[in-house]
Structure 1
Amino acid sequence: MMRVTVWNENRHEQTNATVKDIYPNGIHGTIAQFLSSEEVEVHTATLDEKEHGLTEEVLSETDVLIWWGHLAHHEVKDEIVAKVKKRVLEGMGLLVLHSGHFSKIFKSLMGTTCDLKWREADERERLWVVDPSHPIVDGIGEYIELEKEEMYGEHFDIPAPDQLIFMSWFEGGEVFRSGCTYQRGSGKIFYFRPGHETYPTYHQSDIQKVIKNAVQWLKPVNRNTPIYGNSKPLETITQKE
């Protein structure tokens, strides 16, 4: 059984009637609902919970962490970010959604500003699959089309992705690297752009399919932790005169 934790700051849902109407159980609740299965056990955590819902116990039992944030990146405690980063380096998968590009955890793992252009204009987005052989796009056609989304545009200040999975085109003319994978330590990371809170993006079947595929791809690999530090030789070292 794979264990997934969906983290959401859960602020828009409390203050914005449009968001509450689209996601009555929160963005985290919607994602948790479509991810839950006989093979995937899903829990949720939110910003205002104790330790943001990301206690040592929760993190130690999480195989893949999904992160959605926007209004309150600054409220996430640095010590919690450090714990999440440690778990990623140890092998926990991390799926960063939409405005999570500006989260403390993503910026820490990327080592850059992660800044970009943006615009809210109810414009069409077409996410082109640029790596059709990748498991994250299994079952997805040549592109995913969203009738309305927030625009994110280049330049996106991130390191060059290990693999670029999606490239978005927007009605206003911009393009954006919308699906990027990375490896940090023993952990895998996937950044997936769509998901502005005032649009029903996470109810779209292809978006749900990508997230399901990504969770499977991000799950940790069973392996022994390497031993570091001073090491005795495996073979006899011949002492030279």
Structure 2
Amino acid sequence: MAAPLKILVWNEGVHELTNQPATMATMYPDGIHGAIAAALAQHHPEADISTATLADPEHGLSEDVLAGTSVLLWWGHSAHDQVADEVVERVHRHVLGGMGLVALHSAHFAKIFTRLLGTSCSLQWRNDGGRELVWTVKPSHPIAAGVDSPLVIPQQEMYGELFDIPEPDDLIFISSFAGGEVFRSGVTFTRGRGRIFYFSPGDQEYPVYHHRQVQLVLANALGWAAQPGLRHTVPEVGNPARRDFGK
């Protein structure tokens, strides 16, 4: 029997304390990370799901923790610069070695995301609480399985093009907004042996992670990004001894 997936939901945990804490406590009483973890448990009851925040020792991202993690979900927004560089290097090494990474909302500016993609990852934004329509443009991809098109999010921060990212491996979702903006809201990348998915909906001012279809996207992403049984080993250039192939 295969070992269960080990999922770590990481949240900087700053907005819960500083950005309208009473509202955040009502909307996400266990924090954004707690809401995501609870939702994922409904879709992956066999998985080992834990959470961590910026305030934890080593940000909850120690070598031992990462070595046993199948997929890391990362939510960040206002404290990207407070993530220690040595922790970023550690996470980077594990992604290259095969750990999955699901980057959420403003994690496009997280140190680990910009390090892996090698671009500014900048974008246009406007936060007026308008409606977002998330359109599936690659329905054959496992992350899109069962997801409505469009997925309707009543209130959400607008993210718009240009989104300064490299050409993605897969463009799965494109979002449109009332102001006419569009955005590549669901994209995948491969770095080393690791699979990466970025999904933009999820601003802290709106209950986006309680949306059943958003939860389904994240649950699907776990199944895609996880590679059960794969040890986190970074590919290396080697010079193997000459082999006899029977010629």
Indicate whether the TM-score tops 0.5: yes
Q: TM-score, normalised by structure 1?
A: 0.95
Q: Distance in 1 between matches of 2:113 and 2:24?
A: 24
- Which residue is equivalent to 2:114? 107
Equivalent residues of 1:68, 1:99 under 8 A apart? yes
Q: Gaps spanning 5+ residues in structure 1: where? A: none
**Structure-to-structure mapping, 1:30-179, within 5 angstroms:** 30-36=35-41, 37-179=44-186
- Higher Cα radius of gyration: 1
Equivalent residues of 1:3, 1:41 under 8 A apart? yes
Q: RMSD value over aligned CA atoms?
A: 1.6
Equivalent residues of 1:3, 1:61 under 8 A apart? yes
Q: Distance in 2 between matches of 1:159 and 1:74?
A: 22
- Which residue is equivalent to 2:12? 9
Q: Gaps spanning 5+ residues in structure 2: where? A: none
* Higher RCO, 1 vs 2 (CA within 8 Å, ≥6 residues apart): 2
Secondary structure in 2 aligned to 1:150?
strand
Equivalent residues of 2:71, 2:226 under 8 A apart? yes
1:195 to 202, 224, 230: 202
After superposition, give the CA deviation of every residue in 1:84-117 in whole Å (9 maximum; x if it has no partner): 0000000000000000000000000000000000
What code does the residue aligned with 1:185 have?
A: G
Change (3 A) 1:141 1:231: same
Secondary structure in 1 aligned to 2:186?
strand
Q: TM-score, normalised by structure 2?
A: 0.93
Q: Distance in 2 between matches of 1:160 and 1:221?
A: 27
- Which residue is equivalent to 1:22? 27
- Which residue is equivalent to 1:232? 241
CA deviation after TM superposition for structure 1 residue 19, in Å: 2.0
Equivalent residues of 1:126, 1:144 under 8 A apart? yes
After superposition, give the CA deviation of every residue in 1:21-75 in whole Å (9 maximum; x if it has no partner): 2111000000111112432110000001110011111101100000000110000
Q: Percent of aligned pairs with the same residue?
A: 51
Q: Distance in 1 between matches of 2:134 and 2:90?
A: 33
Q: Which runs of 4+ in 1 moved over 3 A?
A: 221-228
